Structure 1
């Protein structure tokens, strides 16, 4: 007898229609995926090619930048040599000896060929006669290096075309400058020549390719030097379109192969040399630049073809499986439709659980009667695995005891709610459980709150963590330090707080900028964590202030040891991206019990102890002492007095003359501020300017000084006094925090004085912080008509070239350089170098701190422009200035 097998009626087409769409979705999705993949592949290949071309242009631009600097430096040295020869020619009256220049070499280290031709084109001097052919010597006046210098009025260096050297297969480039006599008349030409190959450095073939080149091209479009594939024997004309594009000072371009004789497309960058009629050009050939791209393109296209075939197979298999699954899903859907509508639509887990009773009617366990898949997933099980299981058997997957307690409470009170921690590994870490009694069973819902808990913890962490350093912040200190102090009181243990303030941090910010300051604070945080003991807490209060909390101390000696390590951690400076920052740490220590019993007093006493270190040399540590309150009160009193002095204008201005080094005529005055203190008398800047800088009052003080100087200039003008410019010192903080252009514009307009009556002195460190902003402000000041001076030159971080770019008119050389004059030769050589370079850049030089007559003689011999110092004149009150000016004028007459 055959077994009875139930026969299921096939589903109708209408019932399967929703699944037909799913089945047909496979080929549609396959086409979309394939199309999108090929689209993105082609787009990415285009972007990769563009990136490769940009990289090639960036590479050539980088090479051009480096080569331009090297070539410009080489040409500057040659030009400086020619100018030195001309100067020596003038000094020696035409009796120049070339042997003093025999050690001078070209950029490649080879001796330079130097020649001098007289005004009638005759060879007067040379250290290499063999480089001139007889034919050239017979028609020197027709050669470009001579003819150009004789005819044109401009006084600059001429760069000739490469040509064969006499009696040699080598080529040479000639550089010339005109010679003039004492009356400024043309007296000949000085010529320096060397191999043009040395104008262009060797380059790495791996960067430009075998068909790349590096060249130096004249403003006339003719190459002066060119290197192909490491050799310099191929010199030819560049494409006309490229030469047209090179009319711009710098740039990059893709030059198609049809422009070149060899048909190779190249990626070209160029840069014109500042001050010289040369353009440096670098070109990378396309086959080399796109080699890696070509390999990636071929591999990517093959991979895409293989993936397309695999996708086709996958789509066919998916359609087959989907057809079978559609039938099963339809039957399962019909059987469980009601249950699914009630539970599966929710994102929460749903359970029906019943209590298991033991002896005496006491609940001893719970069993799962039913659940949805979401609920089973939250328990890290499947629905089939979970139904029928007792809660006690789920140990290791669920927190059994807390869950049983919550369910028991719900059976007793009708409902219960709470959060449980998941034990099984997986994305779910925390679930929120709600249980409600319905007859003899419980309806339980579970919701995943892992992300909510993580978000709350993250918010709490951010609230108590310093974003820059990752250390606990001031809010953490305010929340946790009271608990730490209370715990210490309860245990009868000792704790201490180290209050740390960085020495020199403001200078780093002013010199290198806030980005460097942030980098320094991050390094400081790491060093502090290394310096303290395991278990000690390091926190940042803000700015450059940190604290360290030391618990379980036996005595103050342990706190002193930690403080000493903190101070030692900053010896030798801190290396940051912008340079080496010289900082130290001033550490104040307050202990509990002993110095304080509450948090506010503990922190305040540590802060006071730290300030005591600041006022007595910095870079050390100090325990709190009640006597420190006196120093705090004294500083606060001086701050109040300084603020009152600014409000009441207790300041007076003295003026020190600046004279011409040659005639001793007064050419300018420097305004020097003094504080006429009501009780202490006349105070000099060293006694109040540092405090004004630290508190920020220097800004208001500086504005008052500008206004007073302009008022005094106007008063002198009204009295009919001879006009003499007055220079005003502007502090770094005032320059960086205020718009000084607007300040001076208002002051000049208010008092009705011309801009050329005012000069502005800035220190070198003022200009380093934000060069772009500095340049903008200084150009605006210069456009206004105010002359700009660099004060205390030689003590900061600037360079002469940067000062020239910033439109400075004059250098005031620091008195430390002047002091060495007449005492050692090196001091004189250094001063002479500063004067020579400043004059070459169009700036005058003032020697500060002139105090001895022999210094005056040396400075005159070195052609220093102006002098200032106590030997010249002491600072004078405004009423005595005009008398001093008249006295000096009378002495000159």
Structure 2
């Protein structure tokens, strides 16, 4: 009979290009030969001989269209979805275009109205200035009975800085005075009483400023506007007209093409709808007549509107804003050409259309690729179906259990359970059932020996995320079995593999126990602390409770080792470990960091008082001597306490602060407990810094020698010198010996410092000798530690010899 591994191999054997699947069919019933067939015709036969195979495969390969038929709807969904996505995207894009254009038009209308309002405010100030000049002329005319002069108005200028052109006409319409003689033509002077500025002021009862129409010169290149007020005599009767002539371009502000475009305009319109002043873009001809729709809109004091290009005559539409000039019969208009205002929007539309076109092409390519891949997927699914049965049989020889499960859904499509589609014998054995019992059975109905709820949770995770993995414990014959489960989702089914990892788990557990256990005391070791203390800190922060770390260092342990030997020291550490476990509370953790250092972790504390109580019990455990095989050992303990979150927020700082607190106990007499003190920590850091600075000072020779003279009281002659060392600190300045000698004594740096002093003194004596000074004995202060750790006799002889100094007369103290 053909073996299972060969069946598995055949199921995944690469097919020739013309084949869709591989199946076996007997060539002749009497011969043990089988061949690869393609449909009904043999295709490059492969003969397999010498295999006992009483059964054969029927023709499992359907025609390609039959293989694709279940997936035709899915394949056709690609172009349908592509069309829907493309259509929706273009509709959304066109809708965005419309909204952006509307927003840009609103902004343009608001902008032109704002410009018109700004220019109206400026124009009002200009007109008020001109009206003020006319009123002053009338007052002087009335006060001086027509004998006034215009000299005092010579410095009055229009907004552009051009002096005002002022003329005064009497009641008889004759020109009485002017500061611009060439302004009036002879023809105008002959018919002044018929000109609008004079006739209106003479006939009107209203006493206000009259604004005339723009009057062009002969070349129609320049215009003037005449502003007039009537003159009164002392009786208040009409006595003439005062006229101020101004270039209309100077009445309104400069034209800004960056805001209004090259086809925009600024204009001032009278209450009669006729233009009084204007400024235009470079390529826009002068407005002869306002569009009808615009003249109708000017009935309101202010506003804005879009005026089509056919009304202007040049085919360019404009956004026009208008605002009445307060106190004067004038309206200021600002027009921005539509191409300029909408340029940015149209550029964005063009770029968006190009991007959308490219995206549509990419979507088309994606749809075609999706259809192609869907067709290939259908063929691959068919091949997988053909190979599934062979694969299941091949897994029977494996040590792993194998399941195929499918979800069971309710009417709403929600998964409510899972059913076993297929499994192998090994999987059935791990489930405490047979294969026949499991196939078609729901997971929720499995044996109670199997933890069903965790298994269903893993299946649900795989359905949601594609894969899941976990361990389950099951009870069988009173024994606990650990099973490793891996779940992979394939379409709407789940492939589940099970493996018995009971022995593996036991081995790992034993390794972890050895890795996290101190071999001497049986306590958790430093590796355990590094793994578990971060979790304890996280629990304390999450629960709002305090956590304390007690750093315990034995006092006198070195003496026990030196006196009784290392074996006695090991025995002492074992006893200490047991005493510490008894001293702490249930649930507290005791660990050995190494040597004679231990650590106690206290969780769920409500304050420092509880930590202090445990520390007191730890100290109490060492009051009595410790009986060991070699005798009785007397040891104590120095306990440093660090609190979380009060003293530290992370593990490293928590351990460091506990160690510093323990060191403070050591320095203050041992056999006690202290909480972490930031002040002590600061002092210790300062001492360490000074220690590092002293070490650098010795290396760089930052010391200077001062010499104190000893004088004979009788002869008043110097008899010897005493060398006194000073530290020339780079930052603190000159330091005296009491500020660094004690530190040098404690740290042992007094020895190299003494060598520096001897070398400096000998160099100075040699220099004095070379300068012809009489030799004098020089005494040097030497520490007792120098005598213990250095051969001072050799040191002095080497220094004297190096500098060529005779040893006579030299002495040290």
- TM-score class, shorter: 0.3 to 0.5
Query: Higher relative CO (CA 8 A, sep ≥ 6), structure 1 or 2?
Result: 2
Q: TM-score, normalised by structure 1?
A: 0.38
Higher alpha-carbon Rg: 2
